[in-house]
Amino acid sequence: MASRLTKKPTSELTPDQRAQHERIARFRTPGADGQFGGPFDPWVRSPELAQRAVSWGNFIWERTTLDRRIVEFAISVTAWAWESNVEWVAHARAAKQYGVSDETLASVLAGERPANAPADELTTYDFCVALHESHHVPRDVYDRAVGFFGEQGVVEMIATIGYYTFVSMTLNAFEIPVAEGVPAPFPL
């Protein structure tokens, strides 16, 4: 499946769009067609949004107080909640690299609460699912999250899943596909 987004060569970008394209190219190499993949090509269409979205993403990548394993797991739960193929493929792989088990990720993908995950991962799962599904966090889940991550960590977890909800919505709306040859975990 091809993306809904019309490919624009860099020569057709406005000066502001080109500036954001160049900024993104500092950390993500464009393909031969000048496209980045992921949410970046749609974001470039709105230069100020691209600038702010990339900055927010940089915070999550570089400066959150949460352990990277927890961040990647929270992103994976968000990808599952939004049935975002590109996000699931990228971040479930990263979660595994940072120590989340195959069993835990398989449970999430199946829509089940992981049975044997560590307590901090179970708390992350419960917190993220509560916000995605009911839009509220039960007091006991909130208290467990603060116990593991502190109030700053809870705010940063909310920022993480909020950001990756935005990413997932962008990917889904523009039907950004997974890389060729990679199976899509969710139906399109």
pLDDT tier, 187 (very low <50, low <70, confident <90, very high otherwise)? confident
Instruction: Say which DSSP state 135 is in.
Output: S
Q: What is the pLDDT of residue 188?
A: 73
- pTM here? 0.94
pLDDT tens per residue across span 119-152: 999 999 999 999 999 999 999 999 999 999 999 9
pLDDT tens per residue across span 87-125: 999 999 999 999 999 999 999 999 999 999 999 999 999
Tokens for 161? 């899943």
Query: Crossing angle of helices 68-81/85-97, nearest 10°?
Result: 160
% of the chain at pLDDT higher than 90: 87
* Longest alpha-carbon distance in the chain: 54
Output b/e per residue, 124-163; b: 16+ Cβ within 10 A. bbbbbbbbeeeeebeeebbebbeebbeeebbebbbebbeb
Handedness of CA 113, 117, 119, 125 (dihedral sign): negative
- The answer to whether 19 touches 47, Cβ cutoff 8 Å, is yes
| Alpha-carbon Rg for the chain in angstroms | 17
Q: What is the pLDDT of residue 179?
A: 86
Q: What is the pLDDT of residue 2?
A: 77
Q: Which of 115, 119, 117 is nearest to 145 (CA)?
A: 119
**Domains within the chain, CATH numbers bracketed:** 15-61 (no CATH), 66-173 (1.20.1290.10)
pLDDT tens per residue across span 1-25: 678 888 888 999 999 999 999 999 9
**What is the separation of C-alpha 62 from the centre of its chain, rounded to a whole number of angstroms?**
14
Q: Can you tell me the mean pLDDT for 68-94?
A: 97
Q: What is the pLDDT of residue 59?
A: 95
Three-class SS of residue 1? coil
Check pLDDT > 90 for residue 163: yes
**What are the phi and psi torsion angles at 156 (to 5°)?**
-70, -30
Q: What is the pLDDT of residue 82?
A: 98
Mean pLDDT of the chain: 95
Q: What is the pLDDT of residue 1?
A: 61
Q: Can you tell me the mean pLDDT for 40-54?
A: 96
